[in-house]
Amino acid sequence: MHPLVEEGGTAPGWTANAAVQPGGSAVLDPTAEPAVRLHQVTKDFAETRALDAVDLTVPAGQMLAILGSSGSGKSTLLRTLNGLVVPTSGKVHVLGCDVTSARGQQMRKLRCGVGFIFQQFGLVGRLTVLENVLSGALGRIRFPRAGVLAYPRRLRLDALGHLERVGLADRAFQRSDTLSGGQQQRVAIARTLMQNPTVLLADEPVASLDPETSASVMSLLLEICQEKGLTVITSLHQVELARGWADRLVGMRRGQIVLDGSPRDISEEALMGIYRGVVS
């Protein structure tokens, strides 16, 4: 059972908020701001409506999994949270910052605190593993950097520490495109850790991995998130994985939230209904 879930009850984050502490663990605080708040968010891509008046509040420290078939709006929702996608209308607040109006420095500062793990890892193939991890610190430092030695030694040691944490310290100077898919996703996790995030967004982080690697990557991610008390929002395709992992499930279909509750309260049938399109 998830440590934040009380015996016989719902997840604490479900009802209580936690104070947001960049880089530190979440401390329960009922008066604190929610980590993420979306109000009537709509996003249109030409003729397609990817998000349709979405309302969502995620308390700090909560682990939320978004389920839904391809094209249901999961990725767009995640991308609106760190400004990679600008909504057509509505308001998005993350860590108290209005993402929809944030620009320049403000956006950079917000992104520093919001880690993002991509399905396709998003590593720069020609760079070494260590350089990729170090790129996670770019939001905190000035000037462009080229090469490992362009980063301060303190950051290099931090990056090596994170690589050690994900079990890849011995691959630090290998080109990242020579690693397997699972190893590349571990590097991506280490890069996110380098950001010292408070909120972690993961867009189908294990969709391109085999079941065994998926399980090991997800358990690593879970361990780290628990350790650091991160607020986690992830989109997943594997229903069973989501049930065992998250303390809140959100189902999406055609850009709308059609299901929202704790894994215990949502039946298997209702979950499968998201994919079959029978949930109203």
Partner 1 sequence: MATPTAEATREQPAVRTSPPWTWQRVGLIVVAIVAIAGLIVSWRYIGMGVTPLFTGIGNIFRFLGQTVPPSFTNFPHTLNEALITVCMAIVGTALSAVLGVIVGFGAARNTTPHPAVRWLARGFIVLCRSIPDLVFAIIFVEALGVGVLPGVLALGFHSIGMLGKLYAEAIEQVPTQPREAVTATGSSRLQNLMTSVWPQVMPAFSSITLYRLDINLRSSVILGYVGAGGIGFLLEEDVEGLNFKHTVGIVLVIFVLIVLMEYVSALIRRSLIGEDAPAISGRPGYKRRAAQPLPRWLGAMIPGQRPPLRAPVPARPAGAAGAAAGAARRDPTRPPWTAARVHQHLYVAGAVVLIVVSLWATKINPITAVTDVRQIWDTFRLYFPPDFSTDRAGLISGTLQSISVAMVATIVGLVFALPIGLAASRNVASPWVYRSARTFLVIVRAIPELILAIVFVVAVGLGLIAGTFALIVGTVGFLSKLIADGIEEVHPQPREAVLSAGAAKLQETVTSVIQPAAPALVGNSMYMLDVNFRSSTVLGLVGGGGIGFILYQSIQVLDYRTTGAIIISTFVVVLILEILTNWLRKQLI
Nearer of residues 114 and 249 to partner 1, judged by Cβ? 114
| Binders in 160-189 for partner 1, by CB under 8 A | 160, 172-175, 178, 188
- Please tell me whether residue 75 binds partner 1 under the rule CB under 8 A: no
Tokens of 89: 């209308």
CB of 226 to partner 1, least distance (A): 22
State yes or no: residue 195 binds partner 1 (CB under 8 A): yes
CB closer to partner 1 out of 150 and 272: 150
Residue carrying structure tokens 């530190």? 24
Residue 117 burial (10 A CB sphere; 0-12, 13-18, 19+): buried
Contact status, residue 111 vs residue 139, Cβ threshold 8 Å: yes
Give 203 or 247: the residue with its C-beta nearer to partner 1: 203
CB within 8 Å of 67: residues ≥ 6 apart: 74, 235, 236, 237, 239, 242, 249, 250, 251, 252, 259, 271, 274
CB of 167 to partner 1, least distance (A): 15
Hey, which bits of 2-61 come out as E strands? 18-19, 27-28, 36-45, 48-58
Integer Cα distance of 266 and 256 in angstroms: 17
Pairwise CA distance, residues 19 & 55, whole Å? 21
Whole-number minimum distance, CB 127 to partner 1, in Å?
5
Distance of CA 268 to the CA centre of its chain: 24
**Options 116, 179, 229, 246; binder of partner 1; rule CB under 8 A:** 116
**Is 241 a binder of partner 1 (CB under 8 A)?**
no
Shortest distance (Å) from residue 97 CB to partner 1: 12
Candidate residues 118, 166, 230, 248; the one interacting with partner 1 per rule CB under 8 A? 118
Single out the residue of 11, 36, 94, 137 in contact with partner 1 (rule: CB under 8 A).
137
Query: Applying CB under 8 A, does 140 fall inside the site for partner 1?
Result: yes
Helix (H) or strand (E) holding 63: strand 63-67
Three-state SS at 207:
coil
Judged by CB under 8 A, does residue 101 bind partner 1? Answer: no
Which residues in this chain contact partner 1 in the complex, by CB under 8 A? 82, 84, 107-112, 114-116, 118, 120-128, 130-131, 135-140, 143-146, 148-149, 153, 156-157, 160, 172-175, 178, 188, 191, 194-195
